[in-house]
């Protein structure tokens, strides 16, 4: 008896994508992660099913069998993203009373790829996760199963931020970590939970950014930098951005920066002062280290330095 496994599903549900074009992870690694997760799976409310065509006795018989495993990128030991292992692993099960309070199973259509993922894979994130684990903390997709307490129903499209688990085909998530996305494309929705919420809280809750303020945004071509630049532009702030090579400076400009500086030039602080001789009102700094120290001298009276990362500084691991 020969078993021919075929899976026929709408294209929208057949592709898992990794998005975030300007992260700290190289394009070759991003492409490999996305490509390997593109194997289609059929998902339905409550049960996750696979259509199996069996050839026997001169005819083809069709039946449905419940899937128990999924593809996922797994960190067996700390290292680089390219050292992750693509493997079959159990699809998470929802059970009332679980410690992680996961009450919603999401079929992942897109996952964000952040600098935080890279350092988590390396074992350098402050909230260290012990191997083996599935990395990835941003996702978007469709709800396929829920249990009591969930705020969503099968068929709802959602996005959310989680501790880990997004680099897989399914993920069990507490519904209070999810938001409805309606018809928003998954690759766009998956880029919202981390960078845009971080930028929004930093700029408007902590920084009290308002129209006419001058803001300096470091690493403006990264995920957080792009989000912060776009949000600052919406309120009419003057934006000075720093970025590295020409392509990254172009990205910063295209997303709303008024003045872009190559941070690799030793006189970049003097260039900031030339554009803002009275100092800047807010500095958004995901770099840390020496960049933070130099930035302090650029603040105006009652200016605010918002440290949102440590890409260039010392990472404190617990």
Domain spans in the chain, listed from the N-terminal domain onward = 2-189, 195-307
Report the pLDDT averaged over residues 4-13.
Answer: 29
Q: Would you place residue 114 in the very low, low, confident or very high pLDDT band (cuts 50, 70, 90)?
A: confident
pLDDT, position 98: 77
Percent of the chain with pLDDT over 70: 77
Mean pLDDT of 130-143: 97
Identical topology for domains 2-189 and 195-307 = no
Mean of pLDDT over the chain? 84
pLDDT greater than 90 at residue 67? no
User: Averaged over 58-75, what is the pLDDT?
Assistant: 75
Identify the band that residue 48 occupies on the pLDDT scale cut at 50, 70 and 90: low
Mean pLDDT of 223-239: 97
What is the predicted pLDDT for the residue at 127? 87
Mean pLDDT of all residues in 126-134:
94
Query: Cβ(111)–Cβ(136) under 8 Å?
Result: yes
Render pLDDT for 77-92 as a digit per residue (tens, 0 to 9): 999 999 999 999 999 9
In Å, the largest CA–CA distance within the chain is 85
Q: So what's the architecture of 195-307 in CATH?
A: 3-Layer(aba) Sandwich (3.40)
CATH of domain 2-189: 3.90.180.10
Alpha carbon distance 224, 238 (integer Å):
17
* Residue 8 pLDDT: 28
pLDDT for the residue numbered 59:
63
Check residue 128 and give its pLDDT.
92
Assign 284 a pLDDT band (cuts: 50, 70, 90).
very high
Q: With cut-offs at 50, 70 and 90, classify the pLDDT of residue 115.
A: confident
Per-residue model confidence (pLDDT) at position 57: 57
Q: If pLDDT is split at 50, 70 and 90, which confidence band does 1 have?
A: very low
pLDDT bin (cut points 50, 70, 90) of residue 96 is: confident
Residue 315 pLDDT greater than 70, yes or no = no
Q: Is the pLDDT of residue 170 over 80?
A: yes
- pLDDT score of 4 more than 60: no
Does residue 130 carry a pLDDT above 80? yes
**What's the CA gap between 228 and 217, in Å, rounded?**
7
pLDDT at 100: 76
0.95 exceeded by the pTM? no
Q: How confident is the model at residue 15 (pLDDT cuts 50, 70, 90)?
A: very low
């Amino acid at each position: 008896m020969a078993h021919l496994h075929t899976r026929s599903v709408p294209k929208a549900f057949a592709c898992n994508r990794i998005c975030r074009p300007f992260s700290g992870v190289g394009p070759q690694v991003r492409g490999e992660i996305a490509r390997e997760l593109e194997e289609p799976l059929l998902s339905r409310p409550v049960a996750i099913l696979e259509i199996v065509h069996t050839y026997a006795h001169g005819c083809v018989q069709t039946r449905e069998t419940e899937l128990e495993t999924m593809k996922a990128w797994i960190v067996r030991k700390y290292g680089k993203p390219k050292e992750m292992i693509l493997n079959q692993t159990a699809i998470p099960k929802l059970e009332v009373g679980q410690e992680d309070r996961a009450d919603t199973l999401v079929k992942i259509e897109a996952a964000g790829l952040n600098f935080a993922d890279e350092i988590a894979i390396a074992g350098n994130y402050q909230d260290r996760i012990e191997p083996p684990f599935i990395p990835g903390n941003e996702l978007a997709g469709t709800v396929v199963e829920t249990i009591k307490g969930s705020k969503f129903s099968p068929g709802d499209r959602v996005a959310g931020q989680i501790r880990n688990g997004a680099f897989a085909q399914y993920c069990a998530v507490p519904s209070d970590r999810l938001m409805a996305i309606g018809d928003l494309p998954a690759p766009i929705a998956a880029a919202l939970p981390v960078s845009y919420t971080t930028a929004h809280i930093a700029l408007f809750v902590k920084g009290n950014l308002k129209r006419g303020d001058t803001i300096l945004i470091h690493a403006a071509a990264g995920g957080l930098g792009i989000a912060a630049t776009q949000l600052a532009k919406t309120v009419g702030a003057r934006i000075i951005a720093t970025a590295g090579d020409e392509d990254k400076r172009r990205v910063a400009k295209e997303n709303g920066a008024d003045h872009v500086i190559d941070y690799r030039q030793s006189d970049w602080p003097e260039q900031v002062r030339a554009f803002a001789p009275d100092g800047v009102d807010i500095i958004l700094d995901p770099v840390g280290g020496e960049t933070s120290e130099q930035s302090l001298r650029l603040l105006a009276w009652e200016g605010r330095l918002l440290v949102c990362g440590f890409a260039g500084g010392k990472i404190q691991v617990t």
